[in-house]
Structure 1
Amino acid sequence: MIKTIIFDFGDVFINLDKEGAMTNALELFEIEELSEELIAFNSFYEQGLIDTDEFIDFYMDNFPKLSKKEITEAWNYIICDFPSSRLEFIQQLAKDKKYNLILLSNTNALHIECIQKHISFYDDFKNAFNKFYLSHEIQLRKPNADIFQFVLDQNKLKPEECLFIDDTKENTDAASTLGINVWNNDPKTQDIIDLFTIKKELF
């Protein structure tokens, strides 16, 4: 029986343009693919191991023709709209008080700052959850097993009583190794508001 639902944020609640953001970045940086160093640095930032100034400085050092504004806009290009129906869905779940609601997201300070600036109901969304974990704040990152163990331990949860929802299969695969029920949602064809229809066998 599911007692706790653990939600990802991007492409579960807020829509992302991952492909468009990558295409835009490669064109802006005039490269064919991100180097291992860039990928690693992005991960460090997402995990809160470096701050925003260090992150921007690193990109400006590597791409000196670009301004801070251009780099920031390229980084935030991925963020799209947040359908109000999804806010209503999570607020209704919170009101019903049937499930313990947790958000667990790989994200970073720049993205959250952008979301707060453009999504007027961000605080209302955040307040719907019992716990709200962002990777850069807890310095842990999916798909590493320690982030899922952290959530289980911090909230004294039994994995078999949890459902974790994420659009990235690598993340749901990692959670499932700990015995957590998972839904690897497809943001192109599925919507979180249909959770109890799509995954009705769990409820």
Structure 2
Amino acid sequence: MIKNIIFDFGDIFINLNKTATALELSKFGFTKISPELDVLMKNYEKGLISSDDFINKTNKIFPTATPQELKNAWNKIILDFPEERLLFIETLAKEKNYRLFLLSNTNELHIEQVIKNMGTERYDRFKACFEQFYLSHLINFRKPNANIYEFVLKENNLNAKETFFIDDTEENTIAAEKLGIKSWNLQVGNEDIINLKSKL
């Protein structure tokens, strides 16, 4: 029996344009993610470096861009948060049938953009729906590493077999399933979180 639900954030609740940042950075010579850039992005997502350090180090890779242009390019991925999804999670929280958690690979600049796009009032309403609101840059772990799931289970005394996890990235749901967590790899564009109950 499912008692706990762990939700991803991007492309589960808030819409993303996952190609927008690469397209914007291509103006400054970006062609693909180099090993150096990959490590930099993952370290930033885990909160191991500050936003200023991240932008400064990215600026060394793309010297023709200004720091502000890099910030703008980085945040292009963040789109809108449909109202029906906010109302859905608020209703689910009010029903109190499940313990609700958010677990997102999110960095500081992106969450600032999310709040700006949503508005503080809507963001606070969303955050209030969850017992715990885990953002990777604040807990120093990131999906799909097993330690992030183990952290959430242990921190909240959750039984993996009683826990359901939703993420749009298959790599992340596979990692959760290896720990005994039932998962839904939501297919963006074909499925929507508001239909969650048909999956439980």
Partner of 2:15: 15
Q: The residue matched to 1:75 in structure 2 has which SS?
A: helix
1:24 CA displacement: 2.5
Partner of 1:96: 95
Q: The residue matched to 1:18 in structure 2 has which SS?
A: coil
1:56 CA displacement: 0.8
1:76 aligns to 2:75 (yes or no): yes
1:146 CA displacement: 0.3
* Structure 1 unpaired stretches of 5+: none
Alpha-carbon spacing, 1:64–1:22, altered in 2? closer, same or farther (3 Å): closer
Partner of 1:63: 62
Partner of 1:140: 141
- Residue deviations 1:137-165, cap 9 Å, x none? 00000000000000000000100000000
Q: AA paired with 2:140?
A: Q
Q: AA paired with 1:130?
A: E
Aligned pairs for 1:1-203 (under 5 A) are 1-25=1-25, 27-120=26-119, 121-197=122-198, 199=199, 202=200
In the superposition, the TM-score normalised over structure 1's length comes to 0.95
Q: The residue matched to 2:103 in structure 1 has which SS?
A: strand
Between the aligned partners of 2:157 and 2:190, the Cα distance in structure 1 is 34
Give the aligned CA root-mean-square deviation in angstroms.
0.9
Q: The residue matched to 2:19 in structure 1 has which SS?
A: helix
1:22 CA displacement: 2.2
CA contact (8 A) 2:88 2:194 kept: yes
Identity across aligned pairs (percent)?
52
Q: The residue matched to 1:165 in structure 2 has which SS?
A: strand
* Structure 2 unpaired stretches of 5+: none
1:63 CA displacement: 1.7
Between the aligned partners of 1:133 and 1:37, the Cα distance in structure 2 is 26
In the superposition, the TM-score normalised over structure 2's length comes to 0.97
Q: AA paired with 1:10?
A: G
1:69 CA displacement: 1.0
CA contact (8 A) 2:161 2:181 kept: yes
